[in-house]
Structure 1
Amino acid sequence: MAESWQDASVRGVAMIENELVVRDFLEVWSARDSRQLLPFLHPEVVYSASSSQEIAGRARVLEMCDEVHRAFTEIRIALVTIAVAGSVVLTEHALHLRSDTGEGHWLRCFGSYELRGEQIVTWRQLHG
């Protein structure tokens, strides 16, 4: 049986909302104030990066964000591509990091965000 247009509309709206949550999350993350990230992260969020072990729980993920924010004087994210499939949002973005020496570096990144109830429950990040 084919999906009704009403069901397709509801699913489409949910995917747009998921995309907007991730876009807003990346914008707030660039502001370097981890307290503002709290409403975006599910209490059971799990973060994993290409070069580290998984970090589980909102408090621990926020601590990691604080560490990154303290390590750099400037953090900017330039979103290149975003794709949504149900509750998963995929991003390609450039991450600009500037240290206190004034030296800046651009990294190419790929992110995967799984959402539950408009909060990020899984956040995977690859840096290159």
Structure 2
Amino acid sequence: MTTDGSKVIAEFLALFAQRDASKLAPYFHPDIVFQNYGDGEVRGRDNLVDVWAGVFRNFEQVDFTTLHSAVNGDLVIEEQVHGLALPGRKLASIKNMAIYRLRDGRIVEWRDYSNSAYARTLL
């Protein structure tokens, strides 16, 4: 696994299409803090893996695409489209801003900003 910020995040996001939370775990620092605004904060690698395992159980398709990326040292900021599809439903494209901070080549902070009310209407 590389420690270059943009490459770490690109490798990480490519895994979402596989819908296997255990494959995300190596990218999470043990002390990771995840904040998806509108939801409660999630602390710790195991807890975050559990969150994504639940997402993958609920959604038939999960795909993250980066539109733009800015990197400054250990900070990666990305404009993304999160593609989510519930079973039997078409893919909903949800615009998102993600902020990642890396430590030792792993994500230690992750904040997602999206319009959750709009996302619900798409899903």
Q: Please state which band the TM-score falls in when normalised by the shorter chain.
A: 0.7 to 0.9
- How many residues are matched? 113
Pick from 14, 20, 23: which aligns with 1:27?
14
The residue number in structure 1 matching 2:120 is none
Q: How does 1:107-118 map to 2 (within 5 A)?
A: 107-118=94-105
Greater displacement, 24-33 / 82-91: 24-33
Q: Report the equivalent of 1:92.
A: 79
Local SS of the residue matching 2:24: helix
AA at the equivalent of 1:48: Q
| TM-score, scaled to structure 2 | 0.87
Unaligned runs of 5+ in 2: 116-123
In structure 2, the residue matched to 1:103 is 90
* CA-CA distance at 1:102 after TM superposition: 2.1
Higher mean C-alpha deviation, range 97-106 or range 57-66 = 97-106
Structure 1 stretches lacking a partner, 5+ long: 1-13
Aligned to 2:59: 72
CA distance in 2, matches of 1:124, 1:30: 20
Q: Rg bigger for which structure?
A: 1
